[in-house]
């Protein structure tokens, strides 16, 4: 399994979008109709069908700068919206839809997706999930596994920062990222395995292919995985961001962390690692508690809350972000800390509005259109029935 080395630090982004009915706030099963029209307008290689007919995925071209990736995504949205608007469909994003019923969602009719649902049955039919994936180019195959293993010391922080899926089928799950819990039910999804050498990964892939666990490497859906064909490390742990500015934060933080560890490797330094059992615990804590999680940060078992770790990392990361051209995007991380991560904003909107799940959808729609996080109290002040629950409690 050859790793096709690529340009160092080259960035690619994938963002899965929900199609929301403007009148009901529910999901619309209209991807085929929308894509048929979009594709009839010409070549659209960066707009794709996804597993569910309520989803459209947009991608960037391979870019040197995070800002260029964001521009690509916005251009794709500008192509789709003239098609969806007359259909009374809004585009929006989050790790899950707050109240849509998974059993009602239809699967795109392709062999790959039909086979997945046939094999995984109940859990496969629950995959009403949306994410952001970030690819970072790696110029030397020898760096791939050390950098991947080092990223696992911080991947739960990335998950917490992006968490945007607290509700499922109209119910408050008590989790910041319910998406993370659901997605790991698929075989070969969730927490990556750690390998010392590329040969070890090749033997693993050979074993799981020979025994019928997978038929292709792309079926390994780890939270972080190598992408041998593209020559990248792909970070898949993120819930879908609700707005383009937060996509930029996730892209910039990922690119900067990969460059940080790449430079450590260049200097001949040993990259950090933590045991698999700490990684599994960190994933659960980040899923459950989000930004309030107390995560294990090193091999010695020291623990620290997510916000403190992020703030402590920034003095080292921001100069690197400046050098690779994504400091402006990374600086917006302070806005997330100040206003709350998406799951926090969404749950505040739900708790203080008479129709909580519908209010969450409207906040998702507003943030997508605004392109940045919105203070949930400012959002509620603009809505009918705002703060009625608060008024009754007082």
Question: How many CB atoms are closer than 10 A to CB 141?
Answer: 15
* Close Cβ partners of 289 (under 8 Å, ≥ 6 residues apart): 160, 176
Q: Within 13 Å of residue 302, how many CA atoms lie on the same side as its CB? A: 7
Query: Is the pLDDT assigned to residue 126 strictly greater than 80?
Result: no
pTM assigned to the model: 0.94
Which of helix, strand or coil describes residue 35? Answer: helix
* φ, ψ dihedrals at 141, nearest 5°: -60, -30
Element (H, E) at 56: strand 55-59
Q: Tokens 């968490």 correspond to what residue?
A: 163
pLDDT in tens, 31-62: 999 999 999 999 999 999 988 899 999 999 99
Give the burial class of 176: count Cβ atoms within 10 A of its Cβ; 0-12 exposed, 13-18 middle, 19 or more buried. buried
Q: How many helices (H) and strands (E) does the chain have?
A: 16, 13
| For the chain, the helix, strand and coil percentages under 3-state DSSP, each to the nearest 5 | 50, 15, 35
Among residues 251, 127, 232, the alpha carbon closest in space to that of 182 is found at: 127
Torsional class of 239: left (φ above 0), alpha (ψ -120 to 50), beta (otherwise): beta
Is pLDDT of 383 > 90? no
Instruction: Give pLDDT tens digits for 307-361.
Output: 999 999 999 999 999 999 999 999 999 999 999 999 999 999 999 998 999 999 9
What confidence score (pLDDT) does residue 385 get?
61
Check if the beta carbon of residue 177 is closer than 8 Å to that of residue 286. yes
């Amino acid at each position: 399994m050859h790793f096709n080395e690529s340009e160092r630090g080259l960035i690619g982004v994938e963002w899965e979008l929900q199609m929301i009915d403007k009148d009901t706030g529910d999901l619309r099963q209209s991807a085929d109709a929308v894509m048929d029209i979009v594709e009839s307008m010409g070549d659209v290689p960066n707009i794709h069908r996804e597993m569910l007919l309520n989803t459209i995925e947009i991608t960037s071209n391979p870019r040197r700068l995070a800002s260029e990736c964001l521009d690509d995504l916005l251009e794709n949205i500008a192509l789709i919206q003239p098609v969806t608007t007359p259909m009374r469909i809004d585009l929006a994003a989050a790790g899950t839809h707050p109240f849509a019923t998974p059993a009602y969602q239809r699967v795109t009719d392709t062999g790959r997706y039909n086979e997945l649902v046939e094999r995984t049955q109940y859990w496969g039919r629950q995959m009403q999930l949306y994410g952001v994936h970030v690819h970072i180019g790696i110029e030397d195959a020898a760096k791939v596994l050390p950098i991947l293993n080092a990223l696992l010391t911080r991947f739960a922080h990335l998950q917490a920062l992006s968490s945007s899926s607290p509700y499922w089928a109209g119910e408050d799950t008590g989790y910041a990222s319910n998406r993370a819990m659901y997605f790991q039910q698929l075989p070969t999804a969730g927490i990556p395995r750690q390998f010392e050498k590329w040969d070890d990964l090749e033997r693993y892939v050979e074993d799981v292919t020979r025994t019928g666990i997978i038929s292709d490497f792309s079926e390994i859906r780890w939270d972080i995985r190598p992408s041998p064909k593209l020559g990248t490390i792909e970070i898949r742990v993120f819930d879908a961001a609700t707005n383009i500015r937060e996509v930029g934060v996730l892209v910039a933080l990922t690119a900067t962390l990969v460059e940080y560890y790449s430079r450590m490797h260049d200097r001949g330094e040993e990259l950090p690692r933590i045991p698999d059992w700490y990684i599994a615990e960190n994933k659960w804590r980040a899923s459950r508690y989000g930004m309030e999680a107390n995560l294990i940060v090193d091999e010695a078992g020291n623990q620290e809350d997510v916000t403190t770790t992020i703030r402590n990392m920034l003095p080292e990361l921001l100069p690197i972000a400046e050098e690779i051209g994504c400091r402006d995007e990374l600086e917006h991380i302070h806005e997330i800390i100040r206003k709350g991560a998406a799951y926090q904003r969404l749950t505040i909107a739900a708790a203080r509005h008479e129709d909580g799940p519908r209010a969450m959808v409207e906040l998702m729609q507003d943030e997508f259109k605004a392109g940045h996080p919105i203070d949930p109290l400012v959002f509620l002040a603009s809505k009918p029935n705002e703060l009625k629950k608060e008024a009754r409690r007082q």
